[in-house]
Every structure is written in C-alpha cells, then in structure tokens.
Structure 1
Amino acid sequence: MTSAAGKLTGLVLAGGRAERMGGCDKGLLALAGEPLVAHVVRGLRPQVAEVLISANRNVENYRQLGCRVIEDEPRERYQGPLAGILAALRVVETPYLLTAPCDSPFLPPDYARRMQEALDRERASAAVACYEGFRQPVFALLPVGLRDDLSAYLASGERNAGRWLRRHRSVAVEFFEASLPFFQNINTPADLARLASTGLPADQPAGQGVKDG
C-alpha cells in the first residue's frame, strides 16, 4: 500500500438484486474457481487502506473475505448503487471512498492512483472512470464531504448515479487499455461465460474463495 492509498477506502458494490442474472447473488458467482467479489477485493487491497463490501444478503459469505460488510439502511435497501455508497460514506475513516462493482474482476493495478491524481490535478469534487468515451459512474472516487448531498439526493427519490455525479464538478478519468475488459459488467449468464473464456491476467491469480450459502 502506498502512502496515498492511506487516504482511500475501497468499496465493492455487491448489494443489488441482479435481476438479469435471475436474482442470484452476483458477487458470489464463480470465475476461475472463486467468487467474482474475491477478484475485485484482491485488485483493490494494494491500492487502499481498507476494503469494504456493500451487500444486502449472504452477509456472512462476504465476511469470509476478511472485509467489513456494510448493509444499506432498511429504507434504502435495493435502491441502487448509490444506497450502498451512502451507507459506506457514513462509516469510512478516510477522506475518500473509491468504488467498484462486484462484477469487475480485472481492475487496473493503478486504478486508485490515476483517479486520485486526476481529482487533485483538476481540483474536482469527484472523479469517475471513463472507458471508450463512456463514463462509468459506479467506478468513482468520492470525498466523504459529499455524504450529506447524496443523502438528500436519495431522499428526494432520485437514484441515478450518473445524474448525481453531474451535479458536482467531477473529472472523467480515461482508461485506454483494451487488452482486458476492465469495466465490462456482467449482467447475464452469457456475459459471465464470455468473460471466463478470456482467462485471468497474470497478476490476478485465482485464490481461496468463499462458499455460497
């Protein structure tokens, strides 16, 4: 972990319903012999001070990864990724929160550094990853100072993460690498099968997984 990483808490978003996957717990689906979420946790750990997992079911399974598991507030449960982000912003002990969804197993090893450098360089309120010209709002670097604004946004009935980020001076951070699907989400069984066929990068070997329960 670098000294800059000490300012960041990582958050893996695994609290959704995954309706397009038949309602299964997406983070616990297997890729290369272990849960998707395990790959994301391993990618984040060297880049941040702590990794949290946002989850609303199978909480004990997620705890087996050695992370604190943060559940949404009951009134906000299953209200989209922003609910999980808000729950994490309420408990983090660092100035910034770095987010990634549970179905992004090939995170760049310099993800945190590039996001932080862009935010500092542009003096922005937030940073959001951009891939092939499209912003990826669930890949974001957020200061904890946005917590109250996000709480009010959700209380108003809004749920769209991209729209919320556009309310603030966010900087888009382009990731040009094309060798791996860094920001390719897994929404269907076919997506998972296609991703499995690509294999794992050399710096992300399969490890010990957790059991679904």
Structure 2
Amino acid sequence: MQAEQMTGLVLAGGQGRRMGGRDKGLEMFADVPLIEHALHRLRPYVNEILINANRSHDEYSGRGARVVADIEGGYQGPLMGIWTGLTLARTPWVVVVPCDSPVLPDDLVPRLAAGLGNHDIAMAHDGERAHPVVALIRRSLVDDLGAALAEGERKIDRWYARHALCEVDFSDCPMGFANLNTEQDKARLERQWTQ
C-alpha cells in the first residue's frame, strides 16, 4: 500500500483525567512531546496526518498536520475521534494511533498494511492483547460508524466486530504498545526505554 492511499490519525482528543486533566499529547516523554513521537511513526508512510484534538489547537498546529476537533463535542471517546478522522480523510485508508504510546514500532504502518489482506480493518495485537486504537481502517466504513454512533455505540471493539477484521501480530515488540495513562506509567516507561 502506497503512502498516497493512507492518512494518519493521531487520537489526542481525550480529557487526560488520569494525568490530572492535562492534555496528554503535550506531555513530555524523553524530552519530546508525546504528539511528536506519534507523528514520527506516521510521517514516512502516509499522505497526510490529522491530529484529533479537542483543545490546545494552537499548540498542536505548526507540526505538519491538520488539527481537527471531534465532529460532535462532549468528549465522547476514541470512536468519535475515529469517525472524525474517517470523515475528514481524503484517502481510502486511515491508520489510527493514540497520542500516548510513544514507543510504537517504527515499522508499525507497513506491518499493518502487510497484514491487512482482504479485510476492512487491521488491528495491532501484542501477543497478549489487542490494541483497538492502533489500526488501519478502510475509510468507506465512515457511514456505518456514523450510524453506530447515532445508535449510542461507543465501544471500538464492538464496532470492529461488525466488519471484516484481522489482528496483526506484533508479539515480537509488546513493549511498543505501552500507553501512558498516569505519571507513574510515564516514569516507568522512560526508565525502561532509556536503559
């Protein structure tokens, strides 16, 4: 799959409740904002990057990405962010990553694309558990997702289950999917990553 066929989507629209309400994408990890780690993983492989953010737009702008707020407000969760990305993307595929997983594999995007086969969604699996917010999604599913949201669906895995889904094996690098929900998570991963 060529870069021209893919849009990157970084989910940075949460409230950061377990981080004291701070905007997680702007938190520092190894002296670099978390958002930059996500952008670094996507840039070589996609045509455009969208940052889904519901605040701090000035801080996110100027990073070589289009900053987009949830189409419907109220912090409705990552599925709303995914729908926003699918709605606004201009390519047939959207690769989704969270802003708070700074050590995602460098080859994440080509591995998801290679594992897709004839499916509509390829989701990362670290050998122990799936990571629904790390996925390659066919953009033409946008209307179905909009309908699911209108029906009250907010669980990513339940919506994925409605479609041709495959899991892509990343069991060789499970630490790559660590996400930082708390200060303790961040300190622990920084120690492990810099050793």
TM-score bin (small chain): over 0.9
Q: Name 1:189's counterpart in structure 2.
A: 183
TM-score by length of 2: 0.94
CA RMSD for the aligned pairs? 1.6
C-alpha displacement of 1:161: 0.6
C-alpha displacement of 1:133: 2.8
Structure 2, unpaired ranges of 5+:
none
Distance in 1 (CA, whole Å) between partners of 2:128 and 2:154 is 23
Q: Name 2:139's counterpart in structure 1.
A: 144
Q: Name 2:193's counterpart in structure 1.
A: 199
Match of 2:165 among 163, 170, 177: 170
Q: Does 1:49 align with 2:43?
A: no
Contact 2:41–2:108 (8 Å) recurs in 1: no
Q: Does 1:80 align with 2:74?
A: no
Q: Name 2:28's counterpart in structure 1.
A: 30
Decide whether aligned partners of structure 1 residues 23 and 36 sit closer, same or farther in structure 2, where only a CA change above 3 A counts.
same
C-alpha displacement of 1:77: 3.6
Contact 1:44–1:107 (8 Å) recurs in 2: no
Distance in 2 (CA, whole Å) between partners of 1:162 and 1:173 is 15
TM-score by length of 1: 0.87
Contact 2:19–2:182 (8 Å) recurs in 1: yes
Deviations 1:169-208 (A, max 9, x none): 1000010223x7211111111001111112359xxxxxxx
User: Residue type of the partner of 1:103?
Assistant: D
Q: What is the number of equivalent residue pairs in this alignment?
A: 195
Structure 1, unpaired ranges of 5+:
202-213
Q: How many percent of aligned residue pairs carry the same amino acid?
A: 44
Q: Name 1:21's counterpart in structure 2.
A: 19
Deviations 1:48-73 (A, max 9, x none): 11111000000110113121001112
Show structure 1 runs of 4+ deviating over 4 A: none
C-alpha displacement of 1:76: 4.1
Q: Name 1:107's counterpart in structure 2.
A: 104
Distance in 2 (CA, whole Å) between partners of 1:96 and 1:116 is 10
